[in-house]
Chain A
Amino acid sequence: MRIFYASDVHASNRCFKKFLNAGKFYGSDAIVLGGDITGKAIVPFVEQGGGEVHVTFLGKRQTLTTEEEVRSVEQRVGDTGYYPHRCSADEAQELSADSARLHALFIAKIVERVEQWMALAEERLSGDGAMPCFVNAGNDDPQEIDAVIESAARVEFLEGRVVELPHGLELASCGYANMTPWQCPRDVEEDVLAGRLEAVAAQVRDPAWAIFNFHCPPYDSQIDQGPVLGDDMRMRSTAGGVEMQAVGSTACRAVIERYQPLLGFHGHLHESRGTFKLGRTVCINPGSEYSEGVLRGAIVDINEKKRKLKSTQFISG
């Protein structure tokens, strides 16, 4: 049995489209998308009148004069994982000044994109392209997306549930994470997280034939390296690269050590791609390069007869 797992696509249209195609491309029996599927930024396309639009994207200020140009940049913005928003100069200023209104716009944009993705999944995963598809939320994802995914026809939402993959392999999921400096929508304290993880793990019939799909990786597992942040919340870099430290969850580590599932599917830390063995459990973090439109993932081959992991392979698709 082959499972394709990816995580942290952060609203990148290009990455999500690749994810939907990955099942067929790699010959998988099921595709699983870990959390953090929503984006972090809105790019205002400020209409100047006379068809001229100003936009600053990836540090470059551009003046767009045709609808075709605007659509082209909007597509790139969407592929990068941002949300384009056409507005007047006045509206842009009002949004800057009114955080509540900006927050509401974010939610609307996020929900709109997830709805588009669910529609795309229905289109691509029907008929010849039929493929079991599982999607979860992560700590960055607001609660408003849950209902959208739950109502999708071809996608199964995973949060707080145990679902069955082919051959009876169980998939237990939790998208919440321990507190980050940003206090994201699904950040919780370790004791609260422990309760959530325990609650879902306890539903598993046979941990030895289960995957724990916990968005946050176990603490000090080498796949939980996150950048050290300065007081200005920026990464600290010195000669040769970014300074990193272990930022995973102690609760996650404890639950995995206790239940010892076959596999742990994780994400959350984009720069910390790798595998780590915790007892008999192989924990995987495929990392993320969503902003470049690269889908990082892992092909996981499992021998269903021996109920053993055959191999894992990272891809940058």
Chain B
Amino acid sequence: MSSETQTTASGLFLRRSSGLVREFGGWDVFVFNTVGYALGLVLAIIPLLMAGAVPEANVLLTVAVGTVFTLFNAMTYGYLSAAMPRSGGEYVFLGRVVHPTLGFTASWGFTWSQLLGMALYASFTVNFGVAIAFLTLGNVLDSSGLVTAGEDVAKEWPTFLLGTAMILLVALILSLGPRMVRRFLNVLFIPAMLGSFVTLIVLLVTTRDEFVTKFDDFMAERAGGETYSGILASAGDAGYVDKPSTLSALILAIPIGYYIYIGFTYSSYIGGEVKEPGRNQPRIILGTLAFAAAMYLVCLWRFYEIVGQEFVNSVVYLNNNTDDGSGLPVDPVLNLFTGIMTGSTILNVIMALSFFLWNFLLLFVIATVITRNLFAWSVDRILPDAVTKVDRRFHSPWVATLIVIVASEILLVLYVFTTFFQEVSNYIVLYSIAFWATSLAAILLPYRRPEIYQSAPEFVRRKVGGVPVLVLFGVGNFILFSLVLYSALKLPAFSGPTGTDAVLFVAGIYVSGLVVYLAARAIQKRRGVDIDLAYREIPPD
């Protein structure tokens, strides 16, 4: 009898029953979200991205203000995940609160952005993760073999072949089942994070004078001999003017302050697996954001203290506007400079491996999010049953994985060998529309679905001045993504193409989603299945 009941530390009485109370930790979700926004990749490219898109914006202020706006996105997705703790993100939120058609269409657009992301990040893994890592290592460690390898892998065919190898490796690991994927992510997260901490420490212990001396030595030995002050002067001669930071530049740059976090809410797509999701989703999402903000702000504060924003802007200006460029052998990513700062072989190898891993692991998170969405659509009868087929031995979703791989491969070909991505595909606009639309779910939930709202955890139902906080978060999210969309359509250097073809492409994706949903609904209706019922709540009373 004594083992039939027990009392928990909090005083809850439990009886012996299968599964007991749902209870498992949030660390894995933190890992999932952190790999989702690819901490080390973003950290490396922020200086390059900011200098290219909005050089006159203060980077730290951009990140700080962007983080505040991103809080609205965190709270919107965190609170909606707490109120509707199911896997699927906007598919569930919008589908339940507004209409299933809108939920699917937004989810379709987001999923396409992730498919484009697979191709994009597969090639980034080669062009940034491998090539820049090799070039940086080769230059810092004075290895001509590594430099040559870095230059060679960035070419078209090597990019395609290595990108394909990355995608196939992702497919292979996915096909070994979810357990293997999780182990793979768990193990490789450690060296990825280690490299980022090494970067942080190098930035914390280096002074500007030390860097300038080491930079000048590095350039004299392994590049054209340009010096730190010489580059600043050359940029001035070429027409670069260091302008003070302005409010308009800041507003234009705020979306970059959000972009650096994209992926930190991805646990909402696997919400059904999170322990006490009503409580933990907002905490984990906010925790992920807080950790990311701290790492970004400290690293970038030190980076710009040491290297200087004017210097980074000058390098990018010279690279973009002069035939000779800046003379730097590699794009001015943060890794290059930290590599020069330390000079240590082992620390450089750790940072290079970390940089590669942040790129590579992101592919697993993206592929997981896509397969979850494909599964959800199939279970709800929008896609054929076959999509949910699972291999008996490894329990891997092989049909969904195959779809992801084939689509990614086609898009990789388009990315490497055509100008499709340069002229048509605007990745940021594509996913931002889905996030923008999700604001509606937050704003309307208390009024359109009061039964869901009333049964949500207490903190979700709090009010400020009589207005539900969820509504305020939704409005903040709406403003954030209005700004993101505005900047994404104004700044090709930030978001990619913004012409008519690009707008039509995005519109086409979303319209095709609507068509797919309506077609599936008509087909299923003939079979007597009403797919609109999938998430319609049964009134309990």
> Which A31-51 residues sit within 8 Å CB-CB of chain B?
36, 38, 40-44, 46
Most chain B C-beta atoms within 10 Å of own C-beta, residue among A14, A102, A289: A102
Interface of A: prevailing SS? mixed
Separation in Å of the B266 CB from the closest CB of chain A? 10
Is the C-beta of A126 less than 8 angstroms from some C-beta in chain B?
A: no
What residues of chain A lie closer than 8 Å to B25, measured between beta carbons? 237
Contact with A along B526-541 (1 / 0, CB 8 A): 0111110111111111
B18 touches A271 (CB 8 A): no
Are A21 and B379 also in contact (CB < 8 A) when A100-B1, A103-B4 are?
Answer: no
A240 touches B32 (CB 8 A): yes
B10 touches A56 (CB 8 A): yes
Question: Chain A interface residue count: which class?
Answer: 35 or more
A40 touches B395 (CB 8 A): no
Is the C-beta of B19 less than 8 angstroms from some C-beta in chain A?
A: yes
- C-alpha gap A236/B178 in the complex (Å): 13
Contact with B along A284-300 (1 / 0, CB 8 A): 00000101111100010
Is the C-beta of B85 less than 8 angstroms from some C-beta in chain A?
A: yes
What residues of chain A lie closer than 8 Å to B20, measured between beta carbons? 40, 182, 233
Are A241 and B182 also in contact (CB < 8 A) when A59-B276, A315-B534, A316-B535 are?
Answer: yes
What residues of chain B lie closer than 8 Å to A180, measured between beta carbons? 18
Separation in Å of the B265 CB from the closest CB of chain A? 15
A183 touches B16 (CB 8 A): yes
A17 touches B541 (CB 8 A): yes
Are A25 and B538 also in contact (CB < 8 A) when A239-B28, A239-B186 are?
Answer: yes
Is the C-beta of B86 less than 8 angstroms from some C-beta in chain A?
A: yes
A294 touches B86 (CB 8 A): yes
Is the C-beta of A225 less than 8 angstroms from some C-beta in chain B?
A: yes
What residues of chain B lie closer than 8 Å to A289, measured between beta carbons? 85-86, 272
B18 touches A140 (CB 8 A): yes
Separation in Å of the B270 CB from the closest CB of chain A? 6
- C-alpha gap A301/B10 in the complex (Å): 46
Is the C-beta of B229 less than 8 angstroms from some C-beta in chain A?
A: no
Q: Tell me which of B270, B524, B533 contacts A241 (CB under 8 A).
A: B270
> Which B25-51 residues sit within 8 Å CB-CB of chain A?
25, 27-28, 31-32, 35
- C-alpha gap A158/B308 in the complex (Å): 76
- C-alpha gap A223/B112 in the complex (Å): 29
> Which A263-293 residues sit within 8 Å CB-CB of chain B?
268, 270-271, 273-275, 289, 291-293
What residues of chain A lie closer than 8 Å to B457, measured between beta carbons? 58
Is the C-beta of B243 less than 8 angstroms from some C-beta in chain A?
A: no
B185 touches A274 (CB 8 A): no
What residues of chain B lie closer than 8 Å to A225, measured between beta carbons? 395
B7 touches A271 (CB 8 A): no
Per the CB 8 Å criterion, the residue count for chain B at the interface is: 75
Are A240 and B368 also in contact (CB < 8 A) when A40-B17, A103-B5, A311-B527 are?
Answer: yes
| Chain A residue nearest in CB terms to B86 | A316
B18 touches A182 (CB 8 A): yes
Is the C-beta of A74 less than 8 angstroms from some C-beta in chain B?
A: no
- C-alpha gap A314/B539 in the complex (Å): 17
Are A106 and B15 also in contact (CB < 8 A) when A14-B455, A25-B538, A289-B86 are?
Answer: yes
- C-alpha gap A236/B185 in the complex (Å): 15
A92 touches B16 (CB 8 A): no
B540 touches A17 (CB 8 A): yes
What residues of chain A lie closer than 8 Å to B15, measured between beta carbons? 40-42, 102-103, 106
Separation in Å of the B387 CB from the closest CB of chain A? 12
B7 touches A96 (CB 8 A): yes
Is the C-beta of A208 less than 8 angstroms from some C-beta in chain B?
A: no
- C-alpha gap A244/B529 in the complex (Å): 31
A18 touches B538 (CB 8 A): yes
> Which A223-248 residues sit within 8 Å CB-CB of chain B?
225-227, 233-244, 246
B539 touches A25 (CB 8 A): yes
Separation in Å of the A224 CB from the closest CB of chain B? 11
Are A317 and B536 also in contact (CB < 8 A) when A103-B4, A239-B182, A241-B270 are?
Answer: yes
Are A299 and B182 also in contact (CB < 8 A) when A184-B16, A274-B388, A294-B86 are?
Answer: no
- C-alpha gap A95/B8 in the complex (Å): 12
> Which A49-92 residues sit within 8 Å CB-CB of chain B?
56, 58-61, 76, 79, 85, 92
Separation in Å of the A108 CB from the closest CB of chain B? 12
What residues of chain B lie closer than 8 Å to A183, measured between beta carbons? 16
Separation in Å of the A239 CB from the closest CB of chain B? 4
A-B contact list, 29 entries, CB within 8 Å = A17-B540, A21-B538, A36-B18, A44-B13, A56-B10, A79-B455, A92-B11, A96-B13, A99-B3, A99-B4, A99-B6, A103-B5, A106-B5, A220-B392, A222-B392, A227-B24, A234-B23, A239-B35, A240-B365, A241-B182, A244-B179, A268-B18, A295-B538, A299-B529, A310-B528, A311-B528, A314-B379, A317-B536, A317-B537
Where the two chains meet, the residues of A that have a C-beta atom closer than 8 Å to any C-beta of B are: 14, 17-18, 21-22, 25-26, 36, 38, 40-44, 46, 56, 58-61, 76, 79, 85, 92, 95-96, 99-100, 102-103, 105-106, 139-140, 177, 180, 182-184, 187, 220, 222, 225-227, 233-244, 246, 268, 270-271, 273-275, 289, 291-295, 299, 301, 310-311, 313-317
Known contacts A40-B14, A41-B12, A313-B530; 11 additional CB pairs below 8 A are A21-B538, A42-B13, A96-B7, A182-B17, A244-B179, A246-B395, A273-B379, A289-B272, A291-B22, A311-B529, A313-B381
Closest 5 CB pairs of A and B: A239-B185, A238-B182, A317-B538, A17-B540, A42-B13
